């Protein structure tokens, strides 16, 4: 693969010269190579962190080279994707064979036909079917070991090595998930003999340990994770809990691990105090695994049953991929219930429609259950929204600890129905009766800005190049 456009455009050279004259140049960070499957123009949440960092570095006079799939867009290798940021695309491998194997797996589970007079399958046939099922499961677990992007990561590793030579990279930052990108970054850095930083946007082996009982697979993954992280000059984690667990398992990582959280983009929006006597709750997003809306809806149903509550003052909107959760339709669930008159369920909307709905709301609902080790990106957006927040998550999870003590954030555990109803009652009283809301103050949330995270990132990158 040839890399064209290797010399920086004039405006980038001028920016570096300006930073040098003003004392902003950091020669040890002249070129940073980022390996990340997700990057602008991808709309994936995972693209935001690395894209914002790349922009920050470029604005600081650092040349940034990005090896990514770029959402499989048609991008010329070596082109300036954004000012000071140069693209080295690696296409997604074709998955025709894998898709065929998945289809074969699904078709290979026919029911056991019983012979005439049989009331159940014979023990021998049951054992055979069980063995075949275990063999299939083992095959697919091996196929997806680490993750399903291994082939892409192998290509990205070789491309990153060549790009590092062409551009004279001083350090590599590899970001995952997919965590196979960390393998690509480690390989390229080792061959180039430059330091690399492993960025864990989500837990790696800790996620498998939390979600699965497959101890053999976990043992192999733990070993691989340890090798990859030990070879890193620094490790950044979005979560303090994951960072602490990494050090607990390997004390040699203590000096390498840094907590660099995600953050909100732009300034903190001015808080709204008046509610005009309305309680307007908005959830905008997707109801995927863990984001169970029904405890909230049950508490809402209780609130609307109270004699002193005026339903005409309450409005709840679910907007996005929200038509069902765990196979249960929200529309059918609210039928014949009090909340049917106040709840709207809308399909995905254009960004400007979502923004307008957020502006009209008095409370933003964040469903963050079942994520003990991670903080959903939506949490940071809500903190800077200028609206009051209803956060549903376990009392002992990372997200609850993050927002503890911040006024304007109402955190409740979904299993505590009394706490849920008390919280909704409090919101109704303050928003409808007192006509006031409390949004998080800029002083309380400024530390969670994207700029704050990028400054920490910058110092980590600079420190590893000075070692």
pLDDT band at 217 (very low <50, low <70, confident <90, very high): confident
Band of residue 117 on the pLDDT scale cut at 50, 70, 90? very low
CA dihedral 411, 415, 419, 421 (to 10 degrees): 110
- Better-scored residue on pLDDT, 19 or 217: 217
Q: In the structure, what pLDDT confidence band is assigned to residue 211 with cuts at 50, 70 and 90?
A: confident
The pLDDT of residue 81 is 96
Higher-pLDDT residue of 141 and 387 is: 387
Give the per-residue pLDDT at 214.
76
Long-range contacts for 102-109 (Cβ within 8 Å, ≥24 apart)?
Answer: 105/136, 105/140, 108/132, 108/136, 109/133
Q: Is the pLDDT of residue 127 over 60?
A: no
Q: Tell me if 257 sits within 8 A of 414, measured CB to CB.
A: no
139, pLDDT greater than 80: no
pLDDT range class, residue 13, cuts 50, 70, 90? very low
Cβ–Cβ < 8 Å for 219, 183: no
Mean pLDDT value across residues 60-80: 95
Q: What's residue 291's pLDDT?
A: 94
CA-CA distance, 146 to 407, in Å (whole number)? Answer: 40
Contact 326, 294 (CB under 8 A): no
Mean pLDDT across 221-227 = 92
For residue 124, name the pLDDT band (cuts at 50, 70, 90). Answer: low
Statement: residue 78 has pLDDT above 80: yes
Could you write out the DSSP letters of every residue in 81-99?
EETTEEEEE-PPPP-HHHH
Residue in 415, 27, 118, 397 with CA at minimum distance from that of residue 239: 397
Cis bond upstream, residue 330 (ω within 30): no
The beta-strand segments (E) located in 322-355 are 324-325, 328-329, 343-346
Could you give the count of Cα atoms lying within 13 Å of 149 in the half-sphere of its Cβ? 20
Q: How confident is the model at residue 131 (pLDDT cuts 50, 70, 90)?
A: low
| Rounded Cα–Cα distance for residues 205 and 195 (Å) | 23
Which residues, at least 6 apart from 444, have a Cβ–Cβ distance to it below 8 Å? 383, 406, 407, 408
Number of residues written out for the chain = 467
Percentage of the chain beyond pLDDT 70 is 83
In terms of Cα–Cα distance, which of 449, 454, 464 is closest to 55? 454
Residue 146's pLDDT is what?
A: 64
Mean pLDDT on 227-248: 96
Contact 77, 65 (CB under 8 A): no
Q: Quote the CA–CA distance of 153 and 140 in Å, as a whole number.
A: 19
pTM over 0.85: no
According to DSSP, residue 433 is labeled: I
pLDDT band at 145; cut points 50, 70, 90: low
The pLDDT value given to residue 11: 45
Residues above pLDDT 90, as percent of the chain: 75
Higher-scoring residue by pLDDT: 268, 21: 268
Supply 120's token pair: 């159940």
Per-residue pLDDT, 115: 44
pLDDT tens readout for residues 299-331: 999 999 999 999 999 999 999 999 999 999 999
* pLDDT, position 144: 43
Query: Tell me, what's the pLDDT at 34?
Result: 98
Q: 124 vs 118, 129, 137, 223, CA distance in Å?
A: 14, 9, 20, 38
Residue 129, pLDDT above cutoff 60: no
Mean pLDDT of 7-19: 42
What domains are there in the chain, each with its CATH number?
A: 10-93+147-263+450-465 (3.40.50.2000), 279-448 (3.40.50.2000)
Q: From start to end of 221-353, where are the E strands?
A: 234-237, 257-259, 279-286, 314-321, 324-325, 328-329, 343-346
Residue 23 has pLDDT above 60, yes or no: no
Q: What is the pLDDT of residues 154-183, one digit of tens each?
A: 999 999 999 999 999 999 999 999 999 999
Using an 8 Å Cβ cutoff, are 81 and 89 in contact? no
Q: What is the pLDDT of the chain when averaged over all its residues?
A: 86
Buried b / exposed e across 332-343, counting CB within 10 Å, b at 16+? ebbeeebbeebb
Would you say residue 256 has pLDDT above 50?
A: yes
Q: What is the pLDDT of residues 422-464, one digit of tens each?
A: 999 999 999 999 999 999 999 999 999 999 999 999 999 999 9
Written as six digits, the tokens of 312 are: 């005409």
Q: Token digits for 64?
A: 């940034």
pLDDT of residue 207: 79
Strand-by-strand arrangement of the 85-89 sheet? 80-82, 85-89, 63-68, 31-36, 171-176, 196-200, 234-237, 257-259
Predicted confidence at residue 130, as pLDDT, reads 58
What is the chain's alpha carbon radius of gyration, rounded to the nearest angstrom?
25
pLDDT bin (cut points 50, 70, 90) of residue 37 is very high
pLDDT of residue 270: 86
Q: How far apart are the first and last CA of the chain?
A: 32
What's the rounded Cα separation, in Å, for the pair 320 and 349? 7
For residue 121, pLDDT over 90 is answered with no
pLDDT higher than 90, residue 418: yes
Statement: residue 22 has pLDDT above 80:
no
């Amino acid at each position: 693969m040839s890399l064209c456009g290797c010399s920086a455009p004039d405006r980038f050279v001028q920016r570096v010269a300006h930073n040098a004259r003003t004392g902003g140049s950091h020669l040890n960070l002249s070129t940073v190579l980022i390996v990340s499957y997700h990057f602008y123009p991808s709309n994936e949440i995972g693209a935001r962190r690395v894209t914002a960092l790349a922009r920050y570095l470029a604005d600081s006079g650092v040349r940034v080279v990005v090896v990514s799939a770029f959402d499989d867009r048609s991008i010329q290798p070596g082109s300036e994707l954004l000012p000071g940021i140069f693209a080295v695309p690696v296409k997604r491998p074709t998955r025709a064979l894998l898709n065929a194997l998945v289809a074969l797996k699904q078709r290979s589970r026919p029911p056991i036909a019983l012979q005439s007079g049989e009331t159940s399958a014979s023990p021998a046939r049951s054992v055979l079917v069980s063995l075949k099922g275990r063999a299939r499961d083992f095959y697919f677990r091996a196929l997806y070991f680490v993750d399903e992007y291994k082939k892409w990561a192998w290509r990205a590793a070789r491309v990153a090595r060549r790009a590092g030579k062409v551009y004279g990279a001083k350090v590599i930052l590899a970001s995952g998930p997919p965590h196979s990108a960390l393998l690509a970054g480690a390989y390229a850095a080792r061959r180039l003999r430059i330091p690399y930083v492993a960025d864990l946007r989500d837990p790696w082996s800790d996620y498998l340990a939390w979600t699965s009982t497959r101890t053999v697979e976990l043992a192999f993954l733990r070993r691989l994770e340890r090798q990859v992280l030990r070879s890193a000059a620094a490790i950044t984690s979005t979560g303090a809990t994951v960072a602490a667990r990494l050090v607990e398992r390997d004390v040699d990582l203590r000096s390498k691990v840094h907590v660099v959280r995600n953050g909100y983009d732009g300034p903190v929006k001015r808080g709204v105090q008046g509610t005009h006597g309305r309680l307007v709750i908005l959830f905008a997003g997707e109801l995927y695994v863990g984001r169970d809306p029904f405890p909230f809806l049950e508490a809402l149903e209780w609130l609307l049953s109270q004699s002193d509550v005026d339903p005409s003052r309450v409005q709840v909107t679910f907007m996005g991929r929200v038509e069902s959760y765990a196979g249960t339709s929200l529309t059918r669930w609210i039928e014949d219930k009090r909340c049917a008159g106040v709840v709207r369920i809308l399909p995905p909307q254009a960004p400007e429609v979502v923004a307008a709905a957020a502006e009209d709301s008095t409370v933003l609902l964040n469903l963050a259950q079942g994520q003990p080790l991670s903080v959903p990106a939506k949490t940071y957006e809500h903190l800077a929204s200028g609206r009051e927040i209803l956060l549903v998550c376990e009392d002992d999870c990372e997200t609850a600890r993050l927002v503890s003590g911040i006024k304007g954030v109402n955190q409740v555990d979904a299993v505590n129905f009394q706490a849920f109803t008390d919280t909704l009652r409090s919101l109704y009283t303050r928003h409808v009766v007192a006509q006031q809301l409390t949004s998080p103050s800029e002083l309380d949330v400024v530390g969670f800005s994207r700029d704050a995270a990028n400054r920490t990132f910058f110092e980590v990158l600079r420190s590893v190049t000075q070692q």
